[in-house]
Amino acid sequence: MRVLLDDKTRVSCRQMYLGTGDELKYVWEEAFEGQANGILGAARLGQLTVSSGVHSGFVGVRVTLSDSAPPIDPSWEDVVEVSLTASSEYWGIVEGIVESGHGFEGAEGEYRVRMSVKGMDAGAAVDVVSDDDPLVEHHLFEFWPAPWAADEIVRRGSDYAARRHQDVS
């Protein structure tokens, strides 16, 4: 397993975007179209739309790349999986609607992505997490090579994620 990013990331309007390509421009609309889960949208090619409980401020983010599916850690409250086609070796996170973020090196190809989340309800309760505040919400993105498969809700734990899942179904 290779750690590509381990940092905090700004969210804005309960969203951030993770994807591949030279231009990381994202839109919320249609990101969850045809999906069962409502917290990790993968309907747009090469782009992942991420919902957070925190409205504005910071969440913890870790991104890893493995050769095969890692085991699911039972300590994460919400877990979903989607497929992503990486069109470039340039990967990055765009911080909400701010259009700044973190860039990191990945690889082109077909991937399965597991997003595991802790603290979505706590994030929604505090709403705003400033740069000096302790992080209350954490996201883990695990990538591994795999053929395309439909998105899947692996674990439901928070009320916030349950409402988001219900919104797309």
How many structural domains comprise the chain?
A: 1
Find the angle CA(24)-CA(161)-CA(50) to the nearest 5 degrees: 5
Residue given tokens 């395309």 in the structure block: 148
What pLDDT, on a 0 to 100 scale, did the predictor assign at position 47?
87
Host domain of residue 162: 2-168
Q: What is the pLDDT of residue 22?
A: 60
- What is d(CA 124, CA 105) in angstroms, rounded to the nearest whole number? 31
Query: In this predicted structure, what is the pLDDT of residue 44?
Result: 83
pLDDT for the residue 63: 94
Phi and psi for 124 in degrees, rounded to 5? -65, -35
Nearest to 81 by CA among 164, 151, 9: 151
Mean pLDDT, each 10-residue run in order, the chain (169 residues): 92 88 66 94 89 96 96 97 89 66 76 98 96 96 96 97 88
Find the CATH number of the domain harbouring 34: 2.60.34.30
